[in-house]
Amino acid sequence: MAVHAHPDDESSKGAATMAMYVSRGVDVLVATCTGGERGSVLNPKLQGDPWIEENIHEVRAKEMDAAREILGVKQAWLGFVDSGLPEGDPLPPLPEGCFALQPVEEAAGELVKLIREFRPHVITTYDENGGYPHPDHIMTHKITMVAFDKAGDPDAYPEAGDPWQPLKLYYNQGISLDRIKALDAAMNERGLESPYKEWIARWEDSERKPREITTRVPCGDFFEIRDKALIAHATQIDPDGPWFRVPLEIQRDVWPTEDYELARSLVDSSIPEDDLFQGIQVGAAKISNAS
């Protein structure tokens, strides 16, 4: 199960990993916390269309359905309302009733219910910083941590179904400074214009500290599927934008993995890993290499 804040997050974070596991027969569910109702139209080719702006919730739901089909995953909405990304100094208050203002324990109950229905062995989500400090991403982290701990507790959320305890929890860490620098260097070596110069400069000027990468999942053969799913979120992604300026052959050669940080594990598994299911056994059969 991959727990994400908005439609499109599943396609920019861990999508190739999900597609790879689906190809090996693993049942994968994306849990989308909000409908992305307050997201801006970021693709300049679609900006200024009043119908899209007035119907953004419906549009983004259709985009999610298209991306889901491309990835081959299942998908469920938790039903919370997008909080938007506050901007300005001082920051404006979050809108009443939005996801980020919900009581954490109460909101986590919706995810507990979904976990008990789907019964995943592995869950992926964001770290405590949300991957980046969007209030919905941080809230997604909070409810996922509570749900991971409580889903197996028969005394917690008794109305949410029979207990089920996931075994491993990972944070998506697909965008690391080391990865960006490696791709930047590869582009420069080939005489190509890198999209990462300003990104690297901002990162190095910030106080952002590197995260521990414990798990690198080889999934380069599924980068093309990842990109198709991302492009399906047409209001959010410009197909001619920086996401797609590094040729796939360079990405596969330089950094053919999607990377994760193991945050919780109830099974024995050695670090570093190359498989989210390392150490997990179901009955007498060990899930290894997603087989």
Q: Which residues are annotated as a binding site?
A: 6, 9, 137
Q: What is the DSSP string of 106-143?
A: HHHHHHHHHHHHH--SEEEE--TT-SS--HHHHHHHHH
Find tokens 């179904």 and name the residue. Answer: 161
- Among 67, 6, 12, 64, smallest CA distance to 33 is for 6
Residues comprising the binding site for Zn(2+)? 6, 9, 137
Cα 140 to Cα 5: distance, rounded to the nearest angstrom:
6
Q: Record the tokens describing residue 17, joined without a space.
A: 């990993």
What is the rounded (10 degree) CA torsion for 62, 65, 70, 75? Answer: 160
**What sign does the CA torsion over 128, 15, 51, 49 have?**
positive
Non-local CB neighbours of 78 within 8 Å, separated by 6+ positions:
31, 32, 33, 34, 110, 111, 114
* Other residues' Cβ atoms within 10 Å of the Cβ of residue 172: 23
